[in-house]
Amino acid sequence: MNEEAMDAVGDYKYGFHDPEHATIRFDKGLSEQVVRDISALKDEPEWMTELRVKAYKHFEERAMPDWGNCNLLESINFENVTYFLRSSDQTEKNWDDVPDDIKNTFDRLGIPEAEQKWLGGVTAQYESEAVYHSIREDLEEQGVIFLDMDTGLKTHPELVKKFFGTVVPHSDNKFSALNTAVWSGGSFIYVPKGVSVEMPVQAYFRINAKNMGQFERTLIIADEGSTIHYVEGCTAPSYSTDSLHSAVVELVAMEGAKIRYSTVQNWSNNVYNLVTKRAVAHKNATVEWVDGNIGSKLTMKYPSVLLKGEGAHAEVISVAYAGEGQHQDAGAKVHHLARNTTSNILSKSISKNGGRSSYRGMLQVMPKADSCRSKVVCDALILDENSRSDTYPTMEIGNSSADLEHEASVSKVSSDQLFYLMSRGFTEEAAMGLIVNGFFEPFTRELPMEYAVELNKLLELEMEGSIG
């Protein structure tokens, strides 16, 4: 089947698509039977099947969120989504064994090249499942488990059962229920005690088919004193009809562990990106979410950290770029449950060409959590009169010993900045690109260099041809 893709919208260079590759494709629409069929196809243990069905029932009953962008949420037609599509019968360890079309896609996205240069492991998901997966031998020898979630459930059922759904229960929200019902793919990672994974491991998520629903499920467990950096990227073809991406990510950082989770989502502008990401940080653990939202039609995503153990630390750095027809409703949530816990939240957003970006944040300090510190900074840059930026911060402070800072700013590019740069030979577009890259710099400097360079180019491209 060869669906018609729109020409890549604007400068979205990932908007190409391949002929659809389906070895198994479910009919559109969702029912308990679809949920059971997915589970049966994957030959899952009974507890997982039952959890899926329970989650499906909850999804059916659960109301849509009454905040964010209600109009867009209500316009999602769950009956017009393909919930499962298998494009390759197995997950390959060698790129040469991946079907040509799919391999070409990942070549164009630069994944095999990046893997050789700077990654400790790669998983590449295409539609519903991983088509490629590998991990460096030395990591495997140290006992690091890095698998796609389906394989993880097969080979480490006890570990999965112990943690799955403990950080994000299926009943958390409508979309976590949906994900729990129909999840497929995603990553499963376990880092043993004291092991430090120096090179980042990467997952790349690609939607290719039209009206596709992608529901990956990721679980990362960093045992005591271990560290891991996980990087994910996402793109899709530009179609005139919508696709749905609804992931759930659960992180568990045991005592003294450190997890950094970096995302650059660059979905095409027909993708609904409704994701629940949450972490638990035990005593003296650190969790860092580095979260970039450049693409999608509507994103609603608020990476969260539950600071459960004394001395735990959360860092959430996020950026959002909302261009024409986009709404980025993003932010962060940090819950200080234990004493001496600390958090930093930095959120930066850019709105342009009628785009809308919203910061939605929650900072909570529980009554028993003494001597907590938190700093929240939200900066918005609005590039024209038609664009919009909102801030919805919530603070629930139950302990008076908390030391809190909150700063928010909304700014425009000043004519003095533009004149200065133009007097140095920059065109107006190039000047805008430079200012925008500088604005996002606190985020990009946290990314692996290859990602940072790519993101800067992307933003410069976004500034082109847009100034009247």
Partner 1 sequence: MSEEMLRVENLHVSVDNTPILKGLNITINRGEIHAIMGRNGAGKSTLANVVMGHPAYEITSGEIYFHGQPLDELAVFERARAGMFLSFQYPAVIPGVQVGTFLKKSVASVRDEPPKGRAFRKELNEAMGKLEMDKSFLSRYVNDGFSGGEKKRLEILQMLLLKPKLALLDETDSGLDIDALRIVSKGINEIAPEAGCLIITHYQRLLDHVKPHYVHALIDGTIVKTGGPELALELEERGYDWLDAAA
Q: How many of the chain's residues bind partner 1 (CB under 8 A)?
A: 23
Q: Are 294 and 323 in contact (CB under 8 A)?
A: no
> Which CB atom, from 182 or from 380, has the smaller least distance to partner 1?
380
Region near partner 1 per CB under 8 A, out of 222-230, 267-275, 321-329, 415-423: 415-423
Instruction: Pick one of 107, 388, 417, 450: the residue that binds partner 1 (CB under 8 A).
Output: 417
Confirm if 47 and 109 have CB atoms less than 8 A apart. Answer: no
Quick one: 19 or 438, whose CB is closer to partner 1?
Answer: 438
199 vs 430, beta carbon nearer partner 1: 430
Provide the mask over 155-194, with x wherever binding to partner 1 is found by CB under 8 A and - wherever it is not.
----------------------------------------
Q: What is the DSSP letter of 95?
A: G
Q: How far is the CB of 453 from partner 1 (least distance, A)?
A: 12
Footprint of partner 1 on 72-91 (CB under 8 A)? none
Mark residues 363-402: x for contact with partner 1 by CB under 8 A, - for none: ----------------------------------------
Binding to partner 1 (CB under 8 A): which residues in 442-461? 442
Crossing angle between the packed helical segments 428-444 and 449-463, to the nearest 10 degrees: 150
At its nearest, how many Å lie between partner 1 and the CB of residue 10?
Answer: 23
Distance CA 204, CA 465 (A): 29
Contact of 301 with 274, CB cutoff 8 Å: yes
DSSP state of 172: G
Does 468 participate in binding partner 1 (rule CB under 8 A)?
no
The residue (of 384 and 441) whose beta carbon lies closer to partner 1 is 441
Q: Provide the minimum distance between the beta carbon of 355 and partner 1 in the complex, in angstroms, as a whole number.
A: 20
Q: How far is the CB of 451 from partner 1 (least distance, A)?
A: 17
Query: Minimum distance between the CB of residue 430 and partner 1, rounded to whole angstroms?
Result: 7
For residue 418, count CB atoms less than 10 angstroms from its CB and return exposed for 0-12, middle for 13-18, buried for 19 or more.
Answer: middle
**Smallest separation, CB 418 to partner 1 (Å):** 8
**Judged by CB under 8 A, which stretch of 76-84, 96-104, 191-199, 409-417 contacts partner 1?**
409-417
Tell which one of 422, 449, 453, 467 touches partner 1 (CB under 8 A). 422
Instruction: Tell me which long-range contacts 144-148 makes (C-beta under 8 A, separation of at least 24).
Output: 144/189, 144/190, 144/191, 144/192, 144/195, 144/197, 145/188, 145/189, 145/190, 146/121, 146/187, 146/188, 146/189, 146/201, 147/123, 147/187, 147/188, 147/189, 148/91, 148/123, 148/185, 148/186, 148/187, 148/188
- Between 139 and 319, name the residue whose CB sits nearer to partner 1: 319
Among residues 47, 67, 392, 419, the one that binds partner 1 under rule CB under 8 A: 419
β-bridge pairing 342-351 and 313-322: parallel
Pick between residue 37 and residue 460 the one whose CB is nearest to partner 1: 460
Q: Using CA atoms, how far apart are residues 367 and 338, in angstroms rounded to an integer?
A: 9
> Minimum distance between the CB of residue 303 and partner 1, rounded to whole angstroms?
22
- Dihedral, 118, 187, 84, 234 alpha carbons, nearest 10: -40
Backbone angles phi, psi at 123, to 5 degrees: -125, 135
Choose between 330 and 432: whose C-beta lies nearer to partner 1: 432
Q: How long a stretch of residues is the chain?
A: 468
Site string for partner 1, 424-443 (x = CB under 8 A): xxxxx-x---xx-xxxxxx-
Angle formed by the axes of helices 174-182 and 46-61, nearest 10°: 150
Q: Which segments of 29-133 does DSSP mark as H helices, in order? A: 32-41, 46-61, 70-74, 100-108, 111-118
Which is closer to partner 1, CB of 322 or CB of 421?
421
CB of 320 to partner 1, least distance (A): 16
Take residue 146 and report the two structure tokens written for it: 């890095």
Q: How far is the CB of 353 from partner 1 (least distance, A)?
A: 22
Dihedral of the CA atoms 29, 33, 34, 36 (nearest 10)? Answer: 160
Report the nearest approach of partner 1 to the CB of residue 424 (Å): 4
Between 299 and 456, name the residue whose CB sits nearer to partner 1: 456
Q: Which C-beta is closer to partner 1: that of 41 or that of 467?
A: 467
Q: Count Cα neighbours of 173 within 13 Å in the Cβ-side half-sphere.
A: 19
Q: Are strands 129-135 and 304-307 parallel, antiparallel or unpaired?
A: unpaired
User: CA separation (Å) from 372 to 269, 318, 366?
Assistant: 40, 22, 10
**Residues at the contact surface with partner 1, assessed by CB under 8 A:** 414-417, 419-428, 430, 434-435, 437-442
